[in-house]
Structure 1
């Protein structure tokens, strides 16, 4: 898979010719509404012929396997497909083997070096009796190189049928699915959710569901509710008992605690609560994780940050989600949602106090559209990456890219003469984030939030990683 940035005067036909691929494959994987409408600066994911294939109408896993000379099981294993009937138009599949025709002077050692595999892998796949005896013009199969194995969590607020369909389509890309949210009450009870449809989808896709517990009340995080619970050990035991009952009855595999805007005075109380939770849940096989505000130092001031004790969480729980997004928040000035320069500052601190193999880096799947000049009290509109590109196309403006923030943006003027500034994510910005996960040797990544169309993300993820599933 390659990423192409559209230049002035380019057509999709010319781009397809350049990469030796089929136009329809590009249209499908990028879910282009109109193949004739491209905008300067737009990114396109380009599947690599013979190594990647995008599902088309009428395909099934058997027909694709036949086409590329592999078994259905090999194709399913290479793509985390638990149920061969669950494939969707527009999905990109990694082909487990691709052909190579031996050129004059080539040896298996040279071929292995070129493709990043071992001689032994090539020998086994092709049943070569004598590795020194290969013939010019002979076509052999090359196994797809191994990709780093990571874990992926995805939060979702859509828990009914619409959410179920989304998880069925995308679940092979997730380790965990976290329906948002159960909330605590002042008496130690927890609220209810009707999330059976998405939990059913996690079973079909081998995804581990995490129960998300928050102090989220009536549209916002409530510091007082958190304080009531965190300052009363008896109430905490009631909360934990209720959690265990809910997790057992609904089939959750773990707990993700997202307490935000906790009073600084409750920092140690929060740590003690986590220890109680782990002591009761871990013996029953449940994982415990937390979501943490994006801190750049231990004593960072502010209600969002002070009670989040990075070293303690790193020691107590199984893993943490760093909420490395929302720099460009709806009520603030126009900015990248997750500028990589700021994300790296958080990671630079986090890896000094939390084991790297316990960190999931937060990644946004959305963008925002601000009215400018920006005025205090105004709010940006959330847009999907697809909608952002459509806006640039509709208003005939080029998409720019900020190399410091590793994020695309553009400005346009609407029909009322109002000027706008849009920051969003594309294939380039996601590749930069995945490169950061690799560079910092993290456990993986966590998405906020499903329900926002971003078709380019999934092939970029697949091209970079193998996602661990349970």
Structure 2
């Protein structure tokens, strides 16, 4: 159950209304200051989980920008581990000769193992800081490079105790469509004898022949036959360099997932879900400095600091608010209990395999509570 805070309400009065107590509500919603609520803030009221609820898979990508994962990320893994099937450290860059650019997982493998969370070896076609079609094409055209890559992946998976190999190749272009499918089939054939599954990230398409370099290299139907599961990246409609809007508005998310399950079995499809929002400076102009990324917890703290009332866009099923700072207006779109409940309801309605979160460094406690009450989480 979700309660939207109105002017004059306190945590005590809200708790009394729902026959609970303020301490419970503060804990469930991880409120840093229970005495200060924001008008329009969505509070989740804990419910008794349905014992017959569906079992799904969950995944969280983890990414960090320091030599080793920060302590805060390891703490979030330990805290959210019971609600996770997979953790996917992002990512191993594949070089043109098939070798992998390695990186230090720090304590991630141990933290995941202690929570019975499986890990994956994530590979990407990133070169010099961006996704590269020419790198991918060089790899697709070299059987020797592919053999080396598969050998290195299997070795790494054994070293890390990983159970899945996850491929996130992007911006391939139409010319690489069939080559990418063949590449995935060879990878699948190479890792399966070692007990490894294959998962593939997919851009958010609504038709088989959707134009655009991000979309054209991915044949949903063919990839769906090869992969054990896919992650559809149903987020980033609102993005840091674009105009302000919801990051994952429910209508476009539904359109993409309905197309996905029309060509891929629903029991192979993970819905992608952002754990973050953006703070844009207005008026928006193309070429402006990028919007600032922030967690749902940070968004609420900012609304409290700027005395801004949170509003809710019923069409997008997403919260937002406006505020002023240093003479400039800002707008923040983020996620809350209402928006994530809408996405999880859609997952349930479509019978999807699960949900994949990008990425775990952004605290969003309500998500995990609602998830655990709506679904059992599979452990491998």
Counterpart of 2:99 in structure 1 is 189
In the alignment, which of 332, 336, 361 is matched to residue 426 of structure 1?
336
Aligned position for 1:413? 324
Alignment RMSD (CA, Å): 1.2
Q: Secondary structure at the match of 1:32?
A: coil
Q: Which has the higher contact order (CA 8 A, sep 6+)?
A: 2
Question: Which residue pairs with 2:309 in the alignment?
Answer: 398
Provide Cα deviations, 1:319-355, integer angstroms capped at 9, x if missing partner. Answer: 0000000000100000100001000110121111111
- The Cα of 1:219 is off from its aligned counterpart by 2.6
Equivalent of 1:213 in 123, 137, 154: 123
What is the match of residue 33 of structure 2?
34
Aligned residue-pair number? 375
1:207-227 Cα shifts (integer Å, max 9, x gaps): 110110001233321221111
TM-score by length of structure 1 reads 0.78
Residue of structure 2 in register with 1:203 after alignment:
113
Aligned residue for 1:466? Answer: 376
Distance in 1 (alpha carbons) for counterparts of 2:156 and 2:250: 38
1:331 corresponds to which residue? 241
Alpha-carbon distance in 1 for matches of 2:227, 2:46 = 39
Runs of 4+ residues over 3 Å off in structure 1: none
Moved more, 162-171 or 330-339: 162-171
Q: Deviations over 1:130-185 (max 9, x none)?
A: xxxxxxxxxxxxxx522111000110014635233321111111111100000101
Whole-Å Cα distance in 1 between the matches of residues 271 and 319 of structure 2?
20
2:205/2:259 contact within 8 Å kept: yes
Aligned with 2:165 (options 255, 258, 263)? 255
Give the C-alpha shift of residue 356 in structure 1: 0.5
> For structure 2, which runs of at least 5 residues remain unmatched after alignment?
none
Alignment of structure 1 residues 294-313 onto 2, 5 Å: 294-313=204-223
TM-score (norm 2): 0.96
Structure showing greater radius of gyration is 1
What is the alpha-carbon distance in structure 2 between the residues aligned to residue 348 and residue 466 of structure 1? 23
- Cα deviation, 1:276-329, whole Å, max 9, x if unaligned, reads 111111122101010000001011111100001100111011000000000001
2:87 is aligned with 1:177:
yes
- 1:111 maps to which residue? none
Q: In the TM superposition, what whole-angstrom CA distance separates every residue of 1:350-379 from its partner, at most 9, and x where no partner exists?
A: 111111000000000000000111011121
Distance (whole Å) between structure 1 residues aligned to residue 69 and residue 323 of structure 2: 36
Q: Write the distance in 2 (CA, Å) between the matches of 1:17 and 1:27.
A: 13
Unaligned runs of 5+ in 1: 52-93, 95-143
Q: 1:122 maps to which residue?
A: none
Distance in 1 (CA, whole Å) between partners of 2:322 and 2:254 is 26
Q: Report the CA distance between 1:47 and its aligned residue.
A: 2.4
